[in-house]
A and B are shown apart, each in its own frame.
Chain A
Amino acid sequence: MLDVLADFIGELRSTGIPVSTTEHLDAVRALGVIDLGVRRDLHDALAATLVKNGDHLPAFDTAFEVFFALRDEEVEPPSDAASPPPSPPGAGSESGEGRGSGAGGSSSLSAEEIAEMLYRALRDGDASGLRRGASAAVARYAGMEPGRPVGGTYYLYRTLRHLDLESLERRLVGEHESGEDALRARVARDEARARIERLKREVERVIRERLVDDRGAATLAKSVRRPLPEDIDVMHANREELAQLERALRPLSRKLATRLARRRRRRHRGPVDLRRTVRGSLSTGGVPLDLRFKPPRPAKPEIMVVADVSGSVASFARFTLHLVHAISTQFSKVRSFVFVDGLDEVTAFFEGVDDPLEAVTRINAEADVVAFDGHSDYGRALGDFYARFARDVTRRTTILILGDGRNNYHPSRADVIGALRARARAVYWLNPEPTSYWNSGDSIIAEYAPYCDRVVECRTLRQLEAFVGTLE
């Protein structure tokens, strides 16, 4: 058990969850006082001792499922997982599919039977029935091939496609629906979705269990490992990851705002407030034990964000704009500009909107940023910015330029940045590409770099947060 625990912690660390030696020891102690036979208790004990951040729990759960997979007692139909002949190494997934459904089909249940079984289990909230159904569905549809180094996403997709979740959902809704009341219908639909979601998780779990049997926990863990939200590469995030990022952004911006506000308040303590100090000293017989200070008068910076929103870096620009505006109370003024090869001010989109996300969505639809052919032209956009807005740049203005510096071989006009910098407090360039890609191909970030105070690699929320935290 202790060895498994050590491996498990190793896996957590590779996922990016920091587990200290003290926490490892705590986990060992916790194992000493719980009933190891109860999987749920084991899960809770390890979670409580090893994970200290709510955002890391999903990653923990994934790893836990792989390492401490539930060994099904009775649910396994006799012939599956072990029995299908090993596939020829070169077999593509297409050929695997036909054969796979045949292999599982030998275990008796027909498609209708499976569908009916799942429907009943979902309708009655019958957990063990759901397990049996999911198991049968995986056996029949997933077409799992032993030895393939995969994480199971494809098996999941294949199984779910055959299950026709939409009609299942409709049947579940129909069961509850009284028809006339919109609220009732909505609630019924959400309930049905929650149940379907449960089915998906169950199927995923069954697939993982079989993969663990096939390849062992440690190797599988590597294939199913997912980055923590703050480590997702913004430029290459898929849709699900982008949604995760959206969710992570709100608490993050709140934390950041608190931190900036606190730092500002603490840093500049005002002068001694004599009146309040003397008043306070009365309770200690006229001895001024506590000095009282006047509240500080903070000098907030002004931020101008100039963002490239062309296809390749659009999502990065969205996140940064979102973040900067979410904490805009920490700055005296925030103005935003977006460009591709033309430039447009979009500050107004953020005014009077509760949620910066709405504004960001509108920008994509409404801002007038394409002047020419729709390929980024930094030189042109920056020149445009200088001509129209340079007079608003003062010694209190910090300029953030967001973009990958891929200029499609247009002239760089880097001197414009030099001119801007002469007027501004600072010019920072945030580049969402990894440093190793800089200056390859049409990236000309090196031409701009000498004119910037700093060029920062900013691929993940973690890096973005760290950078914004230093603004002042």
Chain B
Amino acid sequence: MSAIDPRAELAARLGLAAVPEPRFASPADVRERLAAEDYLSDDAIASVAYLADRLAKPVLVEGPAGTGKTALAQAVAAAAGARLIRLQCYEGLDESKALYEWNYRKQLLRIQAGRPDGGATESWDRIEEDIFSREFLLTRPLLEAISAREPVVLLIDEVDRVEMETEALLLEILSEYQVSIPELGTVTAQQIPMVFLTSNNTRELSEALKRRCLYLYVGYPDVTRERDIILARVPGISEQLAQQIAEVVRSLRQLDLKKAPSVSETLDWARTLVLLGRSEIGADDTVATLHILLKYQSDIERAAKELRGRESGA
């Protein structure tokens, strides 16, 4: 195996004085520290977060909605003691919202302020130099993450919502950790930020983007992990009830529904049952509260039929 340390390599390229300390010692360490933030990871999640740090590469997190993709970035930021900078993507997002924007109003003011009360008009060159300086630059999340001096975690949320062309904006940051501003030059990172991109998979992301990222697929958790998540997130719930909830949700996910219940919906359901003072659940309770788990009427009807009727089975 080659002896290159990707972090050292990147630090040298960015011209950092020292190679930043790795944030995590091992996948197990990631797991423990995320658990301390009430985020229950599994092997794959912990490994990828560890690799992202060690290889200094962004992570593309994909999976169904509500499985904790965004929460992962938040938990990693909290565990690493870093500031979370979030860029919410949407259709029509452009560089003035994502990277930086010149403060036109301020620039106009500056030009007009230089002109009045006769006197010697300033030379245009000076004005130009002045109005294209950092002072007139509005930093947007991406530039902010790059120019931050303290450790940051950058979360680019729902990246699949931007157009194919806009993705290209991200590429320079993702691979070089720098932003080029034509009037000002190149801003390179002052530290190595951890970057998470999330996607709900509504469209295929470009090859160029995928190539620059590590890939993590976060699916629905298995029963044991879901139970632990419920126990960690819902105060005052008994282990037995959590187990039952996780099992019922698994059964629901196996039905052919339009929208399977997500982890966050499971948690809502668990909270409701605790509020209702239930210590265990039966078919009637479940059917009565199905609307918390399922969001389509047809799904609710179908699940109700499946759960209470049909003693068939074995």
Which A residues form the contact surface with B (CB < 8 A)? 1-2, 18, 20, 22-23, 26, 28-35, 40-41, 44-45, 47-49, 51-54, 57, 169-170, 173, 181-187, 189-191, 194, 251, 254-255, 258-259, 262, 266, 283-285, 289, 354-355
Contact = CB atoms under 8 A, between A and B. Distances in A.
B62 interface: yes
B304 to A, nearest CB: 11
Given A29-B4, A266-B163, A189 B314 contact: yes
B293 interface: no
Interface in B250-266: 250-251, 254, 258
Given A284-B108, A289-B104, A354-B296, A31 B1 contact: yes
A29 B6 contact: yes
B81 interface: no
A283 B219 CA distance: 46
Contacts of A254: 202
Nearest to A31: B1
Interface in B185-244: 201-204, 207, 210-211, 213-217, 219, 223, 244
A49 B214 contact: yes
A181 B203 contact: no
B92 to A, nearest CB: 10
B313 A186 contact: yes
Contacts of B57: 26
Contacts of A183: 248, 281-283, 286, 307-308
A341 B39 CA distance: 60
Interface string B49-68: 01100110101101100000
B201 to A, nearest CB: 6
Given A185-B311, A255-B204, A52 B48 contact: no
B313 A187 contact: no
B270 to A, nearest CB: 15
A35 B26 contact: yes
A182 B217 contact: no
B47 interface: yes
Interface residues of B, number: 60
Nearest to A35: B26
Contact of A190 (B27, B51, B250): B250
B247 interface: yes
Nearest to A189: B313
Given A44-B47, A255-B204, A259-B203, 14 more contacts: A29-B4, A41-B43, A41-B47, A52-B60, A170-B314, A182-B307, A183-B308, A187-B244, A191-B247, A254-B202, A255-B203, A258-B203, A285-B105, A355-B258
22 contacts: A26-B214, A29-B2, A29-B6, A32-B2, A33-B51, A34-B27, A34-B47, A47-B215, A48-B47, A51-B215, A52-B210, A57-B217, A169-B314, A173-B313, A181-B282, A183-B283, A186-B306, A187-B244, A187-B251, A190-B250, A194-B250, A355-B298
A57 B282 CA distance: 36
B44 interface: yes
B311 A182 contact: yes
Contacts of B283: 181-184
A44 B201 contact: no
A272 to B, nearest CB: 17
A119 to B, nearest CB: 16
B1 A54 contact: no
Contacts of B296: 354
B310 interface: yes
Interface string B292-307: 0000101000000011
List of 5 A-B pairs having minimum Cβ-Cβ separation, nearest first: A44-B47, A183-B283, A52-B210, A54-B217, A33-B54
Contacts of A186: 251, 306-307, 313
A52 B201 CA distance: 12
A187 B314 CA distance: 12
B216 A48 contact: yes
A54 B163 contact: no
A251 B248 contact: no
A30 B51 contact: yes
A198 to B, nearest CB: 10
Contacts of A49: 51, 214-215
A28 B2 contact: yes
Contacts of A45: 47, 51
A231 to B, nearest CB: 15
A194 B250 CA distance: 10
Nearest to A2: B1
A1 to B, nearest CB: 7
Contact of B27 (A31, A32, A41, A169): A41
A22 B211 contact: yes
A266 B166 CA distance: 13
B309 interface: yes
Contacts of B244: 187
Contacts of B203: 255, 258-259
A191 B105 CA distance: 64
Contacts of A255: 201-204
B247 A187 contact: yes
Contacts of B51: 30, 33-34, 44-45, 48-49
Contacts of A35: 26
A185 B1 contact: no
A289 B298 CA distance: 49
Contacts of B254: 190
B281 A182 contact: no
A34 B27 CA distance: 9
A300 to B, nearest CB: 19
